Amino acid sequence: MATLASPAPTATATEPILTALHYLFTPSGDRTVAHCLDLDLVTSGKDIDDAEASLNALVLYQVRSCYVAGNFAELKFKAPSRYWQALGNARQLPNAHLEFEVPPVVLPVERARVSLPVLRATRELAAA
């Protein structure tokens, strides 16, 4: 699992920062469900690429919103353990990277970019 602490320049050790992201893709009919386990965010798309693009946008929005609001507690909600267990049994996909602006503000004086590893896996939809 990823360790969390703050992306803010004035962050303390108790604030969250993402050091990696774990994405789990699950086929569901003619769609693919994409789940970021570190933030418990879920979306879908017509295929893995589409679902991942949607999830990347959602993750960036969540991190930016938490930073702007100063509410880093929202970055501590991880997916339930059954999804992390499913990740362990899923077929690994090639890793990717998601680039973040640090600090993520609309009009920064100076921009620094950070690229987080995205650990990707896919699984078959479990029977209900």
Single pTM value for the model:
0.77
CA 106 to chain centre: 20
45: nearest Cα among 62, 59, 61, 26 = 26
- 98-102, 104-108, 116-120: least confident range: 104-108
CA 33 to chain centre: 14
Cα angle, residue 57 at apex, residues 40 and 18 outer, rounded to 5°? 55
Over residues 5-47, the pLDDT tens digits come to: 333 344 444 444 678 899 999 999 999 999 999 999 999 999 9
β 112-122/21-28 pair status? parallel
More confident residue, 50 or 8: 50
DSSP letter for 105, please: -
Q: Return the structure tokens found at 125.
A: 């939809």
Whole-angstrom distance, CA of residue 53 vs CA of residue 37: 16
- Mind listing the domains of the chain with CATH numbers? 21-122 (3.30.160)
119: nearest Cα among 35, 54, 51 = 35
More confident residue, 14 or 97: 97
Whole-angstrom distance, CA of residue 55 vs CA of residue 35: 7
At 62 the pLDDT is: 92
